[in-house]
Amino acid sequence: MRLAVIDYKAGNIRNVFNAFQALGADVFLARDSKCFDEADALVLPGVGHFKSAMMNLSLMREALVSQVESGKPFLGICLGIQLILSGSSEAQEVEGLNLVEGVCPRFPDSKTESIPHMGWNNLDLLGEARLLEGVCGGDWFYFVHSFYPQPADDSVVGATTRHIIDFASVIECGNIYATQFHPEKSAQAGQKILGNFLSLVKK
């Protein structure tokens, strides 16, 4: 089983690569769409601006969407969960990958809580998301973001998190899995989620 971490010049790519490698995964960096056929699963991490990310993905976009729509397991992390949606208020003129219908609003201003949402927070688990098997609501995960995913269909939300508002922090839709938090920076709880994804790919 081979895992491709998509390298599109966004932040945090290497950290995700290293986290999967530490779990024993056969992982490689995919810098162009020709590499996608070599992979059994695709991972789209990232930290950065929505518009810049979509521009950097432009040459890979068609192949990436095709691979995911064909049923290949996919994991989006942080900016990756936002890119799979239809668009973001961070760059309203830019279309997302539209793998899951929805948008990414900015957190509303708050007198008591900061933007960006930065630091450790919990999950409110909804249903039985396969990506979250063995994860407890009291587990801590690391977040850094100012925009949040808002899927059109609530049934794809595997967990929510509270920061100013309740927002979707895990999406699970068929072969598509995504987290707003950084599992690669979330200690044992994060390793559990990455391990769960590897197990799902093997099935």
Active site residues: 78, 182, 184
Q: Quick check: 184 and 19 in contact, CB under 8 A?
A: yes
Separation CA 85–CA 150 (nearest Å): 8
Q: What are residue 52's phi and psi, to 5 degrees?
A: -60, -40
Neighbours of 1 (CB within 10 A): 12
Q: List the beta bridge partners of residue 42.
A: 4, 74
Distance of alpha carbon 129 from alpha carbon 140, whole angstroms: 17
> 29 with 17: CB under 8 angstroms?
yes
Is-cis flag, bond preceding 116, omega within 30?
Answer: yes
Pairing of strands 141-145, 150-151: unpaired
Q: Is there a cis peptide before residue 151, judged by omega within 30 degrees of 0?
A: no
Q: What share of the chain is helix, strand, coil (3-state, %, to 5)?
A: 30, 30, 35
| Chain centroid to CA 137 | 19
